[in-house]
Structure 1
């Protein structure tokens, strides 16, 4: 009986430790914001590298608590209208950014080219600002996301933004005129909500926003997403 009891305690302690925040000042968005949808694309194959990225081990998204508090307000407004935020990437370990840079050097690895960068050579992705050696994501207050509708059957339907997440090209520029009126309206809705709640947009990517008063502006974290 004592052995069973001690084993149960060990299991409970183990769960408590694994569920704890991975870094002080950060929160798990899926736990912290009711109804938000997390689809951590870099933890799988649905990204420009077409494989899991180093540092991503599970379908989770972390952010600084300050940024998450703003997102919670946005999520509440959307949920009242039957909509939700859908997150593709948030905090990004520096080891993942380093993985990007190593990938850039391998000219033969182009598995994701047709889907994510069909009109640009791989060696131009850094000079043209699509990939950087230092990412605001690693500071914990930058996020890639979209808006989705919740259908009656509970399925999540992304609003049409005119280009996929992480598509490298002019059509992904936030104010691109190469998308139709409805797509522009959808982008404007996301942008307005984010800006009104203290985030600044990145003009080359309609999905990318950074908290203006981010709490760790000079720190690039490297703990894994797990």
Structure 2
């Protein structure tokens, strides 16, 4: 018969200290980084590289939680954008925020692995994934790793909730009409998130008037808080002057 071990008061106290230390480590962020939820829990989050609904088809290295982490000044500026949009019954939805440098290295390895799948082709329908770096759609060193860049879109709070992404369903590519491409539960910007195509360029001519109106609304609201849009991606914005250093700490679950 196995002898039963009854924990002493000292053992329990030590265990609690270890658990507390682990929680503190999971929440510890360097150099003025913050969880966006701590500043504005109303901003929606769908951090795509923390799941399977992205061009790689799996979580990227370092994305251990569906959490948006940014520099505090970026978070405060996003909070101001959210307040403006709320007056129109709209909300921001974060798609990517701080990106660990290891995730960018993961992207590099993926782009060079020589394999193409239908799911991946949804994001770059016009060319091979090995051309993504040459064409400027993926960078070996990303501004996201500084905490100053974000990917986001707009949700119309008056609209019914859209369908969930189904990893087993075959969707049309990211340039297709909204009803045929993968659902994003946001306004129709004319091309899906992370779409490597001219149709995703912010000033693309091949989109409808309504789609152009949504893009202009997002760009204008972000610009009023100092954000600059990347012309090849309607979803990508950065806040100049926040910082140039790239970081590589993993995105841990927020414990509060």
TM-score normalised by structure 2 residue count? 0.80
- When Rg is computed on C-alpha atoms for both structures, the one with the higher figure is 2
Which residue matches 1:164? 192
Measured against aligned partners, the alpha-carbon deviations of 1:16-45 in whole angstroms (never above 9, x if no partner) come to 515634223101112221301111100111
Which residue matches 1:223? 249
Q: Which has the higher strand share?
A: 1
Which residue matches 2:89? 82
1:109 Cα deviation after fit: 4.3
Say which of 38, 47, 52 aligns to 1:31: 38
Which residue matches 2:69? 62
The answer to whether the aligner puts 1:209 opposite 2:237 as a matched pair is yes
**Conservation of the 8 A alpha-carbon contact between 1:93 and 1:138:** yes
The answer to whether the aligner puts 1:200 opposite 2:228 as a matched pair is yes
Between the aligned partners of 1:195 and 1:50, the Cα distance in structure 2 is 32
C-alpha change, 1:115 and 1:51, in structure 2 (3 Å) is same
Say which of 49, 60, 63 aligns to 1:42: 49
Between the aligned partners of 2:59 and 2:118, the Cα distance in structure 1 is 13
Deviates more, 1:184-193 or 1:32-41: 32-41
User: Which segments of 5 or more consecutive residues in structure 1 lack a partner in the other structure?
Assistant: none
1:106-145 matches, cutoff 5 A: 106-145=113-152
Measured against aligned partners, the alpha-carbon deviations of 1:87-109 in whole angstroms (never above 9, x if no partner) come to 00010000000001111111114
Between the aligned partners of 1:166 and 1:157, the Cα distance in structure 2 is 15
TM-score normalised by structure 1 residue count? 0.90
**Conservation of the 8 A alpha-carbon contact between 1:150 and 1:157:** no
Q: Which has the higher helix share?
A: 1
C-alpha change, 1:11 and 1:196, in structure 2 (3 Å) is same
1:73 Cα deviation after fit: 0.6
Deviates more, 1:40-49 or 1:19-28: 19-28
| Alpha-carbon RMSD | 2.3
C-alpha change, 1:29 and 1:56, in structure 2 (3 Å) is same
**Conservation of the 8 A alpha-carbon contact between 2:93 and 2:152:** yes
